[in-house]
C-alpha cells in the first residue's frame, strides 16, 4: 500500500487529513517556554488570538528525525508498504532534513521524499493530487515521479498585510528589498524555486487581490485552486468572488493558514495556490 | 563530564552564535538550538546504564540529542554525536586512535545526514576537526594534546567559512553552526584537561568578540541582513580591533588555599576571553591579554604557577586587519544594473521616495525646476548602468527627457513621465529591481495612471476657471490639472472632491504640506474619515510649499 505523509504546513484540517488518508507530521510552535504541536495542541483560531494580543513572539521548529522515524515505522508494516513523503520547501524549513535522516533508517526505495518547493495551499494541492494518483491505482514509482514533476505546475501568490512577521522570522528572502517603506505598502509575494520572492507592492488590499487574479490568468487552464487566509476569513470570500468570475470551472479549496505558517505570514494575510493542468 | 562542560561553554556563547546566524535562514536561533540539543544529550548521558564506560555514555548522549534535536544545526549536532557513539562503540576507555576514529565517524555520519552537503558550514568544521584528530593521533599519545589541536583547527576552520559561502561573505560573519560546534569542542577539551585532578565546574566568564566579523562596511552591502543585529556585529568588529589582540596566556595556579572567586575577579579584569576554572587546590587560567607580564605577576602572588604558556596573537590579528584594510581599499560598491532617480520638492516626499527604493532624489518641483544638469548629476550618482527618471512634475518632464542625450554612452536614461508626486510614488511602487529596463518602464507607466492626484491650495487672486467663480483666498482643488472644486475651507472642498469620484476611491493618502500644522492635518483627516467611512485614509508629511494638501486617490 502506498502511504502519503506530509507535514502540518500543508494546512489540512485533521478531518480532511483523515478523509484523504494522509498522515501529518506536526512542526512545533513555541511561545517562550510553551511548546505546541502545530494544529494538534494549538488551533489556528487560538494561535491568531495569541499572535495579535500576546507579548511573546512565537518561534517554530521542524519535527525531529525521531518523529518521522516513528511515523514511517508505523506505516511500513509489511513488504508491500511504501511511503511518499511530501514537504514544505527545504529553503523555508529543515523539516525535509529531519525526514531525510529518518528515511535513512529504512530500506532504500521504500520512502520517496519530495521537496514541494512551496508551502501551505501549494503543498496541499500537491498532496491532494498525489492522493488522487494513488486512488487511481498507479504504482509507487509512477506516483512518486509524477509528484516530483508536478512541482513545476504549482505556484503560490501571497498578499500580506505587513512584512514584519516574515522579516522577524528570517524567511524574507529576496523580498528584503520591500522593507523600509514609509508608506503603508502591502507586499505581494510568490515562491520561486522554494524561496520567498517579491512580486509587487500594492497600496490596497483590493488592488492586491485583483493582481493575484491577473497573475493567475496566464496559468490557465487550471486543475485546482486553494485560497488560505491567516486569521482573516473575509479575505477568502473576497478572493473567491473574483476567482469564481475568472475561473468558473475550477474548484477552489478554502482554508485557514495554521500556526507555523501563520508565524511568518502574520494576521491579515491571504495566499492563493494553483495547480495548472 | 566533558559533555557537561561543552554544554556550559555553549550556553555562555549562545547569544553570540545566535547573532551570527545567517545560513540557511537568518532566524538567529542557531545557538539556542544547539544548546538545547546538547542539553538533551547531557541529560540522557547522566542516566547512562554504565557511567564508567565511554561507549555507554556516548550512546546515551547520542540518543538524547536525537530526541531533543532542534533546528538544522541541532539535528546535525545530534548526527555528530551519533557518529561519535558509533566510533567508540565497544570501547570502555579512549586512546588517541579511538578518538580519531570517533571524529572521523562523526564527520561521515554528519555528511551523510545532509542532503546537499554545503562547505562553509558546521560540516566543514567537523571534517577539519576529524582531520586534526587523525593527524594528532599520528604524532602524540596524549588525548589532551590531540583535543587541543582539534579545538585550534576547528576555530581555524570556522574563520575560513566566511570565504566559503557567499551569504556569509555578504553578511561579513562566520558560520554560526560551525562556531557553535567549535565552542562545544573547546568546552569539552578544557574539561578533559582538568579531569585527572579536578571536579570540573567550568564556568565560562566574559568572552570577547573574536575576529569573526570581517568589515563593518561590508555588512549591509549584501542585502542579506541589514538588521540591527548585523550592525551590532559591525560595531563589535570596530571595538575589537581597537582593543587589539595581544597574547593568549594560559597557566595553572597551584594552591593550597586558593580563592577561586577572588582570583577570577582580579584576573578577569586584565583581559578578554577569560576562562578560569578550578578549586582551592588548582586553578586553570586562560586569558587573552595585552600585558601578560602584569597578569603573571598578579597570578604569582596567589600561588605558584605551572604550565605557563604565552602565545603571541599578533600574527592572527594582522591577518584580520589586512583583510579589513583590503576590504576598505577594494573598489566601491559595484555599479548596479538598474537605478531610479526621482524629483521631489521637499524632504518629506524625498524620504518617502527613498524608502520606496529611489537611489537619488533631486530637489525641485513646481517653482524650482531642476536643470538637465542637476538631473544628470543625480543620474550619475545613482551608480547604475540604466536609470529610470521620475520627474514628478509636468514642468520637469522636458528637461528630464534631455538627460539621456547628454549622458555618457554607457549610461541609458529612460523617463517615466510622471506629472505629479502621487503618480511618481505609484510608479516607484511598481519598480522591480530584478526585472529589465523595458519591462519596468511599461509596469511603471501602467501604475502611474492608476492614481488620481488632487492638489489643494488657496487662490491668490480673483479669477474664473473651468466655469468656477474664484475669489482671492478661496480654497481650490485641482484634480489631475483641472480646477474642479471651489469652497471656503479645506475640509469642505476635499469632501466634495471625494464625493464626486466614481467609483469611490479605496485608499486616500494625504500629504501634508509646509503650511498646515500636524494637528490641523490630523483634524482634517479625522473629519474626512467620518464623512467617508468606507475609505481608508493615510496621512504623511510631504513638506511641499504652495499646496497645503496633496492627495493621492486609488
CA distance A235 to B398: 44
Contacts of A181 in chain B (CB under 8 A): 355-356
* CB B196, CB B144: distance < 8 Å: no
Q: How far is A167 from chain B (nearest CA, A)?
A: 9
Q: B433 in contact with A at a CB cutoff of 8 Å?
A: yes
| A-interface mutation test, from B177, B342, B355, B453, most A Cβ less than 10 A away | B355
Same structural domain, B68 and B190 = yes
pLDDT at B228: 36
CA distance B351 to A35: 42
- Are residues A203 and B509, on separate chains, in Cβ contact within 8 Å? yes
Last residue of a domain, one of B397, B419, B448: B448
CB-nearest partner of A101 from B75, B223, B425: B75
- Are residues A65 and B69, on separate chains, in Cβ contact within 8 Å? yes
Residue B157 lies in a domain: yes
CB-nearest partner of B113 from A61, A101, A171: A101
Alpha carbon dihedral B475, B478, B479, B482, in 10-degree steps, equals 130
- Are residues B72 and A61, on separate chains, in Cβ contact within 8 Å? no
Last residue of a domain, one of B448, B471, B494: B448
- Grid coordinates representing A135 are 486512488
Same structural domain, B426 and B463 = no
Last residue of a domain, one of B448, B472, B501: B448
- Are residues A170 and B28, on separate chains, in Cβ contact within 8 Å? yes
Q: Report the pLDDT averaged over residues B504-510.
A: 93
Query: Which one, of A261, A241, A161, lies nearest residue A201 by Cα?
Result: A161
pLDDT tens by residue, B61-114: 888 887 777 777 787 888 899 899 999 888 888 889 999 999 999 999 888 877
- Grid coordinates representing B208 are 570577547
SS3 B97: helix
* CB A28, CB A139: distance < 8 Å: no
Instruction: Please give the residue range of the domain that contains residue B457.
Output: 452-553
For cell 500537491, the residue is: A126
How far apart are the two ends of chain B, measured CA to CA in Å? 67
Q: B29 in contact with A at a CB cutoff of 8 Å?
A: yes
Same structural domain, B544 and B492 = yes
Same structural domain, B469 and B353 = no
Residue B114 lies in a domain: yes
SS3 B477: strand
User: B325 pLDDT band (50/70/90 cuts)?
Assistant: low
- The fraction of chain B above a pLDDT of 70, given in percent, is 82
A231: left (phi over 0), alpha (psi -120 to 50) or beta: left
pLDDT at B41: 85
Average pLDDT per 10 consecutive residues for chain A, totaling 277 residues: 97 96 96 89 90 87 94 95 97 94 93 97 98 97 97 96 86 79 90 90 90 95 96 94 96 95 93 97
- Are residues B538 and A62, on separate chains, in Cβ contact within 8 Å? no
* B12 prior amide bond cis, ω within 30: no
Give the residue from chain A lying closest to B74, CA to CA: A64
CB-nearest partner of B26 from A170, A201, A204: A170
Same structural domain, B474 and B404 = no
CB contacts < 8 Å between A and B, how many? Answer: 101
ipTM above 0.85, yes or no: no
Residue B335 pLDDT > 50: yes
Contacts of B536 in chain A (CB under 8 A): 204
**What residues does each domain of chain A span?**
2-151, 153-276
CB-nearest partner of A171 from B25, B70, B357: B25
- Are residues A204 and B554, on separate chains, in Cβ contact within 8 Å? yes
Helices B228-243 & B314-329 angle (0-180, nearest 10): 130
Instruction: Identify any residues that bridge with A197 across adjacent strands, giving them in sequence order.
Output: A190
Contacts of A90 in chain B (CB under 8 A): 115
Contacts of A91 in chain B (CB under 8 A): 24-25
Q: For strand A154-159 and strand B304-312, is the pairing parallel, antiparallel, or unpaired?
A: unpaired
Contacts of B538 in chain A (CB under 8 A): 183-184
CA atoms within 13 A on the CB side of B184: 32
Q: How far is B27 from chain A (nearest CA, A)?
A: 4
Same structural domain, B369 and B437 = yes
* CB B150, CB B136: distance < 8 Å: yes
Residues contacting A173, CB < 8 A, separation 6+: A91, A195, A196, A197
Number of Cβ within 10 Å of residue B79's Cβ equals 29
CB-nearest partner of A65 from B75, B355, B434: B75
CA distance A167 to A190: 15
Same structural domain, B441 and B482 = no
Same structural domain, B421 and B395 = yes
SS3 B316: helix
Q: How far is B72 from chain A (nearest CA, A)?
A: 6
CATH number at residue B142: 1.25.40.340
* CB B543, CB B348: distance < 8 Å: yes
| Burial annotation A131-150 (CB, 10 A radius, 16+ → b, else e) | bebbeeebebeebbeebbeb
Q: Report the pLDDT averaged over residues B154-166.
A: 90
- Output DSSP code: residue B374: H
Same structural domain, B399 and B534 = no
Taking CA atoms, B241 is separated from A125, B17, B213, B327, B492, in Å, by: 54, 20, 10, 15, 63
How many domains are there within chain B?
Answer: 3
CA atoms within 13 A on the CB side of A112: 20
pTM of the model as a whole: 0.66
- Output DSSP code: residue B28: S
Residue-wise DSSP of chain A: -EEEEEEGGG---HHHHHHHTEEEE--EEEETTEEEEBTTTB-HHHHHHHHHH-SSPPEEEPPPHHHHHHHHHHH--STT-EEEEEES-TTT-SHHHHHHHHHTTS-TTSEEEEE-SS-THHHHHHHHHHHHHHHTT--HHHHHHHHHHGGGGEEEEEE-S-SHHHHHTT--GGGGGGTT-SS--EEEEEEETTEEEEEEEESSHHHHHHHHHHHHGGG-SEEEEEEEEES-HHHHHHHHHHHHHH-TTSEEEEEE--HHHHHHH-TTEEEEEEEE-
CB-nearest partner of A94 from B75, B224, B450: B75
Alpha carbon dihedral A208, A214, A220, A226, in 10-degree steps, equals 10
Residue B227 pLDDT > 60: no
* CB B344, CB B421: distance < 8 Å: yes
Q: B352 in contact with A at a CB cutoff of 8 Å?
A: yes
Contacts of A206 in chain B (CB under 8 A): 506
Contacts of B33 in chain A (CB under 8 A): 61
Same structural domain, B49 and B180 = yes
Q: How far is A101 from chain B (nearest CA, A)?
A: 5
User: B446 pLDDT band (50/70/90 cuts)?
Assistant: very high
CA distance B386 to B433: 11
In words, the CATH class of domain A2-151 is alpha beta
CA distance A25 to A96: 11
Q: How far is A89 from chain B (nearest CA, A)?
A: 12
Residue B472 pLDDT > 90: no
- Grid coordinates representing B531 are 464623512
* CB B286, CB B250: distance < 8 Å: yes
pLDDT tens by residue, B341-370: 999 998 899 999 999 999 999 998 876 788
Q: How far is B453 from chain A (nearest CA, A)?
A: 15
- The CA-CA-CA angle for residues B25, B30, B35, to 5°, reads 160
Residue B165 lies in a domain: yes
CB-nearest partner of B429 from A91, A100, A185: A185
Contacts of B39 in chain A (CB under 8 A): none
- Are residues B506 and A204, on separate chains, in Cβ contact within 8 Å? yes
The CATH number of the domain covering residues in A153-276: 3.30.1180.10
pLDDT at B302: 86
Q: For strand A186-192 and strand A154-159, is the pairing parallel, antiparallel, or unpaired?
A: antiparallel
CA distance B422 to A138: 57
Which of residues 92 through 121 in chain B touch A, CB cutoff 8 A? 112-115
User: B25 pLDDT band (50/70/90 cuts)?
Assistant: low
Contacts of A101 in chain B (CB under 8 A): 75, 79, 113
CA atoms within 13 A on the CB side of B438: 0
Number of Cβ within 10 Å of residue A227's Cβ equals 22
Amino acid at each position: 500500500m502506498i502511504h502519503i505523509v506530509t507535514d502540518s504546513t500543508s494546512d489540512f484540517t485533521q478531518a480532511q487529513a483523515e478523509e484523504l488518508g494522509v498522515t501529518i507530521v506536526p512542526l512545533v510552535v513555541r511561545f517562550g517556554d510553551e511548546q505546541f504541536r502545530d494544529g494538534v495542541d494549538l488551533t489556528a483560531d487560538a494561535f491568531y488570538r495569541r499572535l495579535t494580543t500576546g507579548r511573546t513572539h512565537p518561534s517554530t521548529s521542524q519535527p525531529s528525525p525521531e518523529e518521522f522515524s516513528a511515523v514511517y515505522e508505523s506505516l511500513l508494516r509489511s513488504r508491500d508498504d511504501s511511503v511518499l513523503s511530501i514537504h514544505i520547501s527545504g529553503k523555508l524549513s529543515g523539516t525535509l532534513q529531519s525526514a531525510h535522516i529518518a528515511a535513512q533508517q529504512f530500506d532504500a526505495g521504500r520512502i520517496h521524499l519530495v521537496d514541494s518547493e512551496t508551502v501551505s495551499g501549494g503543498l496541499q494541492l500537491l498532496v491532494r493530487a498525489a492522493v488522487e494518483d494513488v486512488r487511481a491505482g498507479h504504482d509507487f514509482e509512477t506516483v512518486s515521479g509524477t509528484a516530483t514533476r508536478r512541482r513545476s505546475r504549482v505556484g503560490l501568490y501571497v498578499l500580506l498585510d505587513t512584512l514584519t512577521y516574515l522579516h522577524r522570522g528570517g524567511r524574507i528572502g529576496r523580498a528584503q528589498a520591500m522593507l523600509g517603506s514609509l508608506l503603508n505598502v502591502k507586499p505581494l509575494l510568490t515562491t520561486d524555486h522554494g524561496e520567498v520572492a517579491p512580486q509587487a507592492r500594492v497600496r490596497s488590499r483590493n488592488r492586491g487581490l485583483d493582481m493575484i487574479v491577473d497573475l493567475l490568468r496566464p496559468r490557465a487552464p487550471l486543475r485546482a485552486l486553494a485560497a488560505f487566509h491567516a486569521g482573516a476569513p473575509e479575505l477568502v470570500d473576497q478572493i473567491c468572488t473574483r476567482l469564481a468570475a475568472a475561473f468558473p470551472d475550477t474548484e477552489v479549496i478554502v482554508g485557514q493558514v495554521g500556526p507555523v505558517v501563520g508565524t511568518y505570514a502574520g494576521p491579515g494575510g491571504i495566499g492563493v495556490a494553483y495547480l495548472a493542468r | 563530564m566533558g559533555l557537561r562542560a561543552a554544554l556550559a561553554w555553549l550556553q555562555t556563547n549562545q547569544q553570540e552564535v545566535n547573532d551570527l546566524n545567517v545560513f540557511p535562514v537568518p532566524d538567529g536561533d542557531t545557538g539556542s538550538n544547539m544548546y538545547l540539543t546538547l542539553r538533551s544529550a547531557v541529560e540522557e548521558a547522566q542516566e547512562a546504564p554504565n557511567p564508567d564506560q565511554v561507549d555507554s555514555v556516548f550512546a546515551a548522549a547520542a540518543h538524547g540529542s536525537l530526541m531533543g534535536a532542534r533546528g538544522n544545526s541541532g539535528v546535525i549536532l545530534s548526527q555528530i554525536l551519533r557518529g561519535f557513539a558509533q566510533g567508540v562503540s565497544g570501547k570502555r576507555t579512549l586512546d588517541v586512535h579511538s578518538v580519531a576514529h570517533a571524529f572521523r565517524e562523526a564527520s561521515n555520519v554528519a555528511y551523510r545526514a545532509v542532503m546537499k552537503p554545503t562547505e562553509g558550514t558546521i560540516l566543514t568544521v567537523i571534517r577539519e576537526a576529524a582531520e586534526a584528530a587523525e593527524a594528532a593521533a599520528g604524532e602524540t599519545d596524549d588525548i589532551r594534546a590531540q583535543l587541543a589541536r582539534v579545538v585550534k583547527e576547528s576555530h581555524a576552520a570556522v574563520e575560513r567559512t566566511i570565504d566559503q559561502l557567499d551569504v556569509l561573505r555578504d553578511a561579513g560573519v562566520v558560520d554560526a553552526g560551525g562556531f557553535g560546534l567549535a565552542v562545544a569542542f573547546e568546552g569539552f577539551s578544557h574539561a578533559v584537561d582538568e579531569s585527572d585532578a579536578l571536579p570540573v565546574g567550568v564556568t565560562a566568564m566574559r568572552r570577547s568578540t573574536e575576529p569573526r566579523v570581517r568589515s563593518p562596511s561590508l555588512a549591509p552591502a549584501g542585502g542579506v541582513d541589514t538588521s540591527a543585529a548585523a550592525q551590532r556585529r559591525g560595531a563589535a568588529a570596530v571595538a575589537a580591533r581597537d582593543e587589539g589582540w595581544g597574547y593568549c596566556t594560559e597557566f595553572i595556579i597551584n594552591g593550597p588555599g586558593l580563592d577561586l572567586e577572588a582570583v577570577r575577579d582580579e584576573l578577569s579584569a586584565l583581559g578578554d576571553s577569560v576562562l578560569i576554572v578550578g578549586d582551592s587546590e588548582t586553578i586553570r587560567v586562560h586569558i587573552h591579554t595585552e600585558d601578560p607580564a602584569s597578569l603573571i605577576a598578579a597570578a604569582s602572588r596567589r600561588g605558584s604557577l605551572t604550565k605557563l604558556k604565552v602565545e603571541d596573537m599578533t600574527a592572527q590579528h594582522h591577518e584580520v586587519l589586512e583583510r579589513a584594510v583590503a576590504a576598505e581599499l577594494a573598489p566601491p560598491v559595484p555599479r548596479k544594473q538598474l537605478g531610479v532617480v526621482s524629483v521631489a520638492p521637499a524632504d518629506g516626499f524625498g524620504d518617502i521616495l527613498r524608502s520606496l527604493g529611489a537611489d537619488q532624489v533631486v530637489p525641485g518641483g513646481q517653482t524650482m525646476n531642476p536643470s538637465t544638469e542637476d538631473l544628470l548629476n543625480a543620474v550619475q550618482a545613482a551608480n547604475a548602468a540604466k536609470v529610470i527618471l521620475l520627474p514628478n512634475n509636468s514642468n520637469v518632464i522636458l528637461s528630464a527627457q534631455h538627460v539621456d542625450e547628454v549622458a555618457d554612452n554607457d549610461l541609458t536614461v529612460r523617463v517615466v513621465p510622471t506629472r505629479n508626486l502621487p503618480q511618481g510614488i505609484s510608479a516607484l511602487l511598481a519598480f522591480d529591481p530584478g526585472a529589465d529596463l523595458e519591462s519596468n518602464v511599461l509596469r511603471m507607466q501602467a501604475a502611474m495612471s492608476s492614481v488620481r492626484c488632487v492638489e489643494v491650495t488657496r487662490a491668490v487672486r480673483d479669477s474664473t476657471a473651468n466655469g468656477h467663480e474664484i475669489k482671492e483666498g478661496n480654497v481650490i482643488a485641482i484634480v489631475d490639472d483641472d480646477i474642479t472644486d471651489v469652497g471656503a475651507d479645506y475640509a469642505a472642498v476635499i469632501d466634495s472632491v471625494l464625493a464626486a469620484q466614481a467609483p469611490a476611491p479605496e485608499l486616500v493618502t494625504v500629504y501634508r504640506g509646509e503650511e498646515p500644522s500636524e494637528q490641523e492635518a490630523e483634524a482634517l483627516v479625522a473629519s474626512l474619515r467620518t464623512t467617508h467611512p468606507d475609505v481608508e485614509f493615510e496621512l504623511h508629511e510631504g513638506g511641499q510649499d504652495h499646496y497645503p494638501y496633496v492627495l493621492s486617490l486609488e
